[in-house]
């Protein structure tokens, strides 16, 4: 039984990682703007992470068991769905050039059935226009 769970985890990890690059959404925003991105997560989980690049020490922006949380300019809101992927809405306010890069939403589930979704943000120079309502990307 332990071997089959271990093998399932390895097979799932290989499949999951090979699909990530093909499904990474890219968003372009200007400095000073806010952005909200929706991550679709296949499996449910109680631990939610938002990371820049990878979810390793030093790259973790939010690590929480709460459905809503905020750390500085970063916030998340989790919604569990029964028969379709759960969602994790990620908001970053007052974008700066250093916010450019790859981000990862991750749910840690039971039996190592983790779920993740990646997105990339490209920040361009330019003044923020408060009359522009294109700041939400879902």
Domains contained in the chain, number: 1
Percent with pLDDT over 90 in the chain: 58
Residue 3 scores a pLDDT above 50: no
What's the predicted TM-score (pTM) here?
0.75
**pLDDT tens profile 10-38:** 344 433 443 345 578 999 999 999 999 99
- In sequence order, the β-bridge partners of residue 29 are 123
Torsion of CA 15, 101, 69, 110, to 10 degrees: 10
Please give the average per-residue pLDDT across 56-83, as a whole number: 95
Residue 58 scores a pLDDT above 80: yes
Structural domain span for residue 101: 2-137
Residue 97 scores a pLDDT above 50: yes
Q: The domain that contains 34 carries what CATH number? A: 2.60.40.10
Residue 72 scores a pLDDT above 70: yes
- Which pLDDT score is estimated for 17? 40
pLDDT confidence of 64, banded at 50, 70, 90? very high
pLDDT confidence of 109, banded at 50, 70, 90? confident
For residue 119, which of 101, 99, 136 has the smallest C-alpha distance?
Answer: 101
């Amino acid at each position: 039984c332990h071997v089959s769970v271990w093998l399932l985890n390895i097979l799932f990890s290989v499949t999951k990682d090979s699909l990530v690059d093909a499904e990474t959404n890219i968003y372009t925003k200007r400095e000073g703007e806010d952005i909200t991105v929706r991550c679709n997560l296949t499996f449910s989980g109680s631990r939610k992470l938002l990371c820049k690049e990878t979810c390793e020490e030093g790259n973790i922006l939010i690590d929480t068991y709460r459905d809503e949380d905020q750390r500085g300019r970063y916030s998340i809101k989790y919604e569990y769905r029964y028969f379709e992927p759960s969602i994790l809405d990620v908001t970053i306010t007052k974008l700066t050039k250093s916010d450019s890069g790859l981000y990862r939403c991750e749910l840690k589930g039971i039996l190592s059935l983790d779920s993740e979704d990646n997105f990339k943000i490209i920040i361009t120079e330019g003044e923020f226009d408060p009359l522009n309502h294109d700041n939400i990307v879902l």
